[in-house]
Amino acid sequence: MRERPLILVSPSVETKGAEFEDLSLSLSLPYERALLAAGALPWPIISLTSREEIAECVRRADGVLLTGGEDVHPVLYDQKMPQRLRKKCILTPDGGCRDLRELMLVDEVFRQRKPLLAICRGQQILNVALGGTLFADIPTELPDAINHRRMDERCAKVHEVDLTPGGLLAKITSKRVLGVNSTHHQAVNRLADVLSVSASSSDGVIESLQLKPEVSHLLPFLLSVQFHPERLADRHAEHHAIFAAFAKASAVARRKK
């Protein structure tokens, strides 16, 4: 029996754990279920900030998944951000350790050429790690945008996104338009140089990213999405297909070890 690809998953952080009142790792179960259903084995990374240890984790893994959560610290992409916007940011309770860990994860993914799937906050930290910027608060900076923070319907399709013809997400889902959930108030602003848009919503908000064709050799697989396919994958084949494509790329990477 062929071993399943091992996926290193970067979880969120909570201010209070179930056992003790200290910082605790948090990972919504739909991530695990979606990966298992796609034939992959999830491996949540512990709260590391050591480059050597993170590099070893990436080396042992066959793919890396960046998950959702609180906002990326604005100092990483806009040190001159006005206070009115900075106050809108909901920061991680660990003093930026998650930001640091995931910046190193992205760097190691590119250095070791491992498949990468990034979801919601994951798309944002990916863009920042590669030199891009973010809108700190969609309602403030893009007042004509649709409501992207539908926390009341986090497991339902609440709006559609247009997929870039010939783009990776269009190829994976075999769709031109995709219904998605939406639970974010930040979004990609200026794109990192190596990334291109794979999907966007009707208001222009970027909903998915991939590598530009001319630099696609940098990684065997890279896809980021602003929505949460793990919460839809059990009922919608096109969202399961995202995890299936990622798992397949990670399985190929495993065989090449």
Q: Per the residue annotation, which of 73, 148, 159, 228 is the catalytic one?
A: 228
108 catalytic, yes or no?
no
Query: Residue 6: what pLDDT?
Result: 98
Share of the chain above pLDDT 90, in %: 87
Domain parsing of the chain, residue ranges: 6-255
Query: pLDDT below 70 — which residues of the chain?
Result: 1
Residue 198 neighbours by CB under 8 Å, 6+ apart: 163, 164, 167, 168, 169, 170, 207, 208, 209, 210, 223
Q: Per the residue annotation, which of 102, 108, 207, 230 is the catalytic one?
A: 230
230 catalytic, yes or no?
yes
Alpha-carbon distance of 238 to 179, in angstroms, equals 9
Under CATH, which architecture does the 6-255 domain have? 3-Layer(aba) Sandwich (3.40)
Q: Per the residue annotation, which of 57, 102, 108, 120 is the catalytic one?
A: 120
Query: Residue 24: what pLDDT?
Result: 84
Alpha-carbon distance of 104 to 127, in angstroms, equals 13
184 catalytic, yes or no?
no
